[in-house]
């Protein structure tokens, strides 16, 4: 019997990833999700420091590990994630 | 007050004098009746007697990047200690290790209380000649703060002062450059207006007494002094440095001549208790407030006595239902 590598759930489209990132980030920053736009810079627009970004990454990994076993955001890529869009595109690409 | 049933998780690998002094401190706490579990590399922990060990193969260095370390070293003693609290294996955690990594571990593993923007470090300040202590926060967790965070610091600091020092109705002061309302930076002025609102005071059972100045840190103007983490850390280190310098100067004066030495011998019984109030080992560490669990940060050079005292503080806060009291003050329901 072949080993299962993925839990059978529907594909996560880009819009769903945007919602996921907004909701998790909103919890971390104690703001409303609709106050977060894709174009927002973590540091300049949202006052999210490096620790907040790590909280976001860990929350996304935990959420998505159910869909894709072992899903992980590489630490080396973290410093390239400057905006919400960067994070969404990264996750979308990794899930692709 | 009931004793905690769960042990306090102690990071056995963190600190300049780890693991020997950490283990020795843990043994002292156990002898005092406080259950402890050590977290670290078993092969490096000697003389643990019957103390349980949670294995952790990695150690976050004192100078390591906090966030990156917690991400990469998932089997570190700090991360495992925080997970022990999260998973219900321990009632609290104590570390004398990397302060930033302790905060990151506790934050990422235990989690923040809902509504808390950022946890804050609450440090007891000695009051020379008194057994009372004031509470300063934030003492270094958040270099930049919003005015709203000051109100949260006030709420959490008031609860901490009550649970830790039994101050029934804490007086909260805002650290500024003048006593008069309207003195201070734009941030401090905004914070003043928010702190003057009575709603949070009633919920926390505290009273905002207005601005206080640096000279009031060890005085009787306020029981809890709130400020941003940058200013708080500078104030704390200044106070520590001045105390150390004065003690050193006094010791030098006491050794200056035979008469001085004789005088010191006569004064010793009255001076030693005063020195004890200034001794960092007696403080019992600083508390990281705003998390879903109790986390005590002990000084990096902690001796066994300092570790024992930090463990005792952790156990005391657990026994006093500190997290539940914080939730109530912040208006947060239990999970």
Q: pLDDT digits over B266-281, tens only?
A: 998 988 888 888 888 8
Is it the case that residue A34 has pLDDT exceeding 60? yes
- Residue A11 is predicted with a pLDDT of 66
- Say if residues A12 and A90 touch (Cβ distance below 8 Å): no
Our count of domains for chain A comes to: 1
In this prediction, the answer to ipTM > 0.90 reads: no
Is it the case that residue A3 has pLDDT exceeding 50? no
Asked, for residue A27, whether it belongs to a domain, the answer is: yes
Disruptive mutation site among B64, B65, B71, B151 for chain A (greatest number of A CBs within 10 Å): B71
Is it the case that residue B1 has pLDDT exceeding 90? no
Of B104, B116, B117, the CB nearest to A51: B104
The whole-chain average pLDDT of chain B stands at 93
Q: Is-same-fold flag (B1-116+290-335; B123-282)?
A: yes
3-class DSSP assignment, residue B283: coil
Asked, for residue A5, whether it belongs to a domain, the answer is: no
Contact partners, residue B222, CB within 8 Å, separation at least 6: B134, B171, B172, B173, B209, B212, B216
Give pTM, 2 decimals. 0.89
Is it the case that residue B258 has pLDDT exceeding 80? yes
Catalytic residue annotation of A: 49
Query: How far apart are the C-alpha atoms of B289 and A1, rounded to whole Å?
Result: 51
Domain ranges, residue A43: 14-95
Which residues in chain A touch residue B68, judged by CB atoms under 8 angstroms apart? 75
Which chain B residue's Cα is nearest to A56?
B108
Which residues in chain A touch residue B70, judged by CB atoms under 8 angstroms apart? 54
Higher pLDDT, B208 or B251: B208
Of A29, A30, A50, the CB nearest to B67: A50
Is it the case that residue B219 has pLDDT exceeding 60? yes
Q: B237 and chain A: CB distance < 8 Å anywhere?
A: no
Structure tokens at A41: 């810079």
Is it the case that residue A5 has pLDDT exceeding 50? no
Q: Are strands B52-55 and B36-40 parallel, antiparallel or unpaired?
A: parallel
- For B25-36, the pLDDT digits (tens) are 999 999 999 999
In eight-state DSSP terms, residue A44 is T
Dihedral angle at the C-alpha atoms of B309, B310, B311, B312, nearest 10 degrees?
50
- Residue A9 is predicted with a pLDDT of 57
Label residues B158-174 b or e (16+ Cβ within 10 Å = b). Answer: bbbbbbbbebeebbbbb
Of A42-46, A63-67, B185-189, B255-259, the one with minimum mean pLDDT is: A63-67
H/E stretch holding B191 reads helix B186-195
Of A51, A58, A75, the CB nearest to B72: A75
A96-to-A17, A83, B264 alpha-carbon distances in Å: 12, 20, 76
- For B146-160, the pLDDT digits (tens) are 999 999 999 999 999
- Residue A10 is predicted with a pLDDT of 59
- Residue B144 is predicted with a pLDDT of 86
Measured over all CA atoms, what is the biggest interatomic distance in chain B, rounded to whole angstroms? 65
Select the highest-mean-pLDDT range: A59-73, B23-37, B110-124: B23-37
Contact partners, residue A47, CB within 8 Å, separation at least 6: A29
Per-domain residue ranges of chain B:
1-116+290-335, 123-282
Of A29, A30, A51, the CB nearest to B67: A51
Query: How far apart are the C-alpha atoms of B211 and B208, rounded to whole Å?
Result: 9
The burial of B269, by beta-carbon neighbours within 10 Å (0-12 exposed, 13-18 middle, 19 or more buried), is given as: exposed
Disruptive mutation site among A30, A72, A75 for chain B (greatest number of B CBs within 10 Å): A30
Asked if the Cβ–Cβ distance from B108 to A50 is below 8 Å, we say no
Round to the nearest angstrom and report the end-to-end CA distance of chain A.
25
Structure tokens at A95: 């899930």
Structure tokens at B69: 């370390």
Domain B1-116+290-335 has CATH 3.40.718.10: yes
Task: Give percent above pLDDT 70 in chain A.
Answer: 89
Structure tokens at B176: 């500024």
Higher pLDDT, B113 or A10: B113
Q: Residue A47: give its domain's CATH number.
A: 1.10.1200.10
Task: Give percent above pLDDT 90 in chain B.
Answer: 82
- Residue A2 is predicted with a pLDDT of 45
- For B4-21, the pLDDT digits (tens) are 589 999 999 999 999 999
- For B34-83, the pLDDT digits (tens) are 999 999 999 999 999 999 999 999 999 999 999 889 999 999 999 999 99
Q: Å from A8 to nearest chain B CA?
A: 28
CATH fold of B123-282 reads Isopropylmalate Dehydrogenase (3.40.718)
Q: If you search the block for the tokens 């919003």, which residue do you land on?
A: B146
Higher pLDDT, A60 or A67: A60
Q: Å from A87 to nearest chain B CA?
A: 17
Disruptive mutation site among A53, A54, A72, A81 for chain B (greatest number of B CBs within 10 Å): A54
């Amino acid at each position: 019997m072949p080993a299962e590598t993925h839990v059978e759930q529907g594909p996560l489209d880009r819009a769903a990833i945007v919602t996921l990132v907004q909701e998790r980030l909103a919890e971390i920053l104690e703001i409303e999700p609709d106050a977060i736009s894709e174009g927002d810079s973590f540091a300049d627009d949202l006052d999210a420091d490096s620790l907040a970004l790590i909280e976001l990454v860990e929350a996304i990994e935990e959420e998505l590990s159910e869909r894709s076993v072992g899903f992980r955001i590489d630490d080396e890529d973290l410093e390239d994630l400057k905006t919400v869009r960067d994070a969404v595109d990264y996750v979308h690409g990794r899930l692709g | 007050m009931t004793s905690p049933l769960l042990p306090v998780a102690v990071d056995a690998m963190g600190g300049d004098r780890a693991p020997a002094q950490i283990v020795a401190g843990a043994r002292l706490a156990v002898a005092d009746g406080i259950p402890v579990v050590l977290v670290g590399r078993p092969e490096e922990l000697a003389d643990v007697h019957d103390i349980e060990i949670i294995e952790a193969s990695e150690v976050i260095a004192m100078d390591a990047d906090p966030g990156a370390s917690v991400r990469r070293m998932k089997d570190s003693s700090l991360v495992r200690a925080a997970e022990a609290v999260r998973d219900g294996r321990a009632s609290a955690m104590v570390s004398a290790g990397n302060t930033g990594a302790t905060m990151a571990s506790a934050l990422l593993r235990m989690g923040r209380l809902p509504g808390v923007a950022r946890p804050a470090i609450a440090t007891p300040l000695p009051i020379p000649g008194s057994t009372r202590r004031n509470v300063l926060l934030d003492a270094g967790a958040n270099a930049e703060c919003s005015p709203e965070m000051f109100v949260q610091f006030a709420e959490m600091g008031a609860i901490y002062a009550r649970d830790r020092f039994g101050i029934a109705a804490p007086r909260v002061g805002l650290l500024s450059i003048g006593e008069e309302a309207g003195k201070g930076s734009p941030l401090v002025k905004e914070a003043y207006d928010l702190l003057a609102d009575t709603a949070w005071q009633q919920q926390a059972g505290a009273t905002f007494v207005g601005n206080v100045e640096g000279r009031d840190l060890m005085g009787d103007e306020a029981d809890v002094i709130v400020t941003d983490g940058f200013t708080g850390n500078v104030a704390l280190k200044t106070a520590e440095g001045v105390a150390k310098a004065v003690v050193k100067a006094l010791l030098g004066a006491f050794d200056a001549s035979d008469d001085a030495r004789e005088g010191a011998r006569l004064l010793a019984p009255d001076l030693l208790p005063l020195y004890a109030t200034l001794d960092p080992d007696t403080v019992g560490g600083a508390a990281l407030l705003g998390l879903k669990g109790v986390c005590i940060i002990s000084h990096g050079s902690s001796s066994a006595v300092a570790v024992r005292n930090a463990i005792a503080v952790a156990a005391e806060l657990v026994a006093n239902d500190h997290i539940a009291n914080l939730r109530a003050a912040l208006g947060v329901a239990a999970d």
